[in-house]
Amino acid sequence: MIDVEDLSVHFGGVVSLDQMTIQFPAGTCGLIGPNGAGKTTFFNVLSGFVRPRSGRIEAMGQDLLAMPDYKRARWGLRRTFQTEQAIEKLTVFENVATVYEHADRGGKAGRVAAVDEALEFVGLTDVAQKTVRTLGAKERRFIEVARAVVGTPKLILLDEPAAGLPDEETATLGNIIRNIPDRVGATVILVDHDMSLVQACCDWTAVLDFGRLLASGPTAEVLHDPNVMKAYLGTEEVA
């Protein structure tokens, strides 16, 4: 469980997160909201790239804000980025192995097995030895997910993992994301604008608007919440 209390982030005069208080349950959670709602800022606070003005975050009983950024990864925090960040010069295998050996402190003994398992999970076994530079956007997105699940992650942040993917690939990715908690035992927080992906992956969803929590609860209920619909589209239904 991820327990966020009174989290505020200010950039100069702009209030990005405003006393956000929220509890993410285990499983795959959605985090949605209009552009500029503070979703990525929240991820950056979790990652340690942005220092909050106030508040605390407790993840599985661990005070996350007390750890330096790279140590959070070693604790079990993983993330993907809006612009995919698969390492171009390395092979697919090396990409995933890098996370395993640094974030997971994994030794040589279990490396091949752990990396192969992650690649099989996302369906990239066949291209393991290819250099990322030679691969398309689709594979790169899946590599990021493999990097997030390799080893023993505790909390996985997916920041628009399906951005730029055609519907068919998004559906495949959705299946994979949905299976992450069962497969690796981590809690997943998914940020995406694609409501069908959020619906397909997440039983529970929270909505941010202007840095404040607007609604949270079972995904179907949240998406039909009048306040949420208003924030997004005036009064129409979201999905």
Partner 1 sequence: MTVAATSPATEVVPVKTPAVARVLSHQFFQPAAVAVVFAIALFAIPGFFDAFWIANFTQMAVFSIVAASAGLLYGRVGLVSLGQVASYGIGCWVTMRLSFSTTWPFPVLLVIGGVIAALIGVLIGLPALRVSGLYLALVTLMLAAGMEIVLGATKFPNGGGGFTGVVETLSDIRPTRRPSWATTDVAYYRFIVVGAFLMFMLAAYVLSRKPGRAWASIRQSEAAALAAGIDVTRYKLWAFALAAFMAGVAGGLYAGTVPKGMSIDAFNRQSAIFLIAVVIMGGIYSLWGGLLGAFFATCLLKFLTQNVAGHQFWTRFSLSLFGLGLLANLIQSTRAAEKKGIEA
In the complex, the residues that contact partner 1 under the rule CB under 8 A are: 40, 44, 47-50, 69-71, 73-74, 77-79, 81-83, 85, 87-90, 94, 97-99, 101-105, 120-127, 130, 134-136, 138-139, 142, 147, 168-169, 172, 175-176, 178-179
Listed residue (167, 115, 172, 177) closest to 145, CA to CA: 177
* Residue among 24 and 100 whose Cβ is closer to partner 1: 100
Listed residue (117, 108, 122, 124) closest to 173, CA to CA: 122
Q: Are 4 and 57 in contact (CB under 8 A)?
A: yes
How far apart are CB 174 and partner 1 at their closest, in Å?
9
How far apart are CB 194 and partner 1 at their closest, in Å?
17
* Residue among 6 and 69 whose Cβ is closer to partner 1: 69
* Residue among 176 and 188 whose Cβ is closer to partner 1: 176
Q: What share of the chain is helix, strand, coil (3-state, %, to 5)?
A: 40, 25, 35
* Residue among 170 and 216 whose Cβ is closer to partner 1: 170
How far apart are CB 142 and partner 1 at their closest, in Å?
5
How far apart are CB 97 and partner 1 at their closest, in Å?
7
Q: Are 172 and 152 in contact (CB under 8 A)?
A: no
Query: What is the rounded CA–CA span in Å between residue 175 and residue 146?
Result: 14
How far apart are CB 78 and partner 1 at their closest, in Å?
7
Query: What is the rounded CA–CA span in Å between residue 135 and residue 127?
Result: 9
Query: What is the rounded CA–CA span in Å between residue 174 and residue 183?
Result: 14
* Residue among 73 and 189 whose Cβ is closer to partner 1: 73
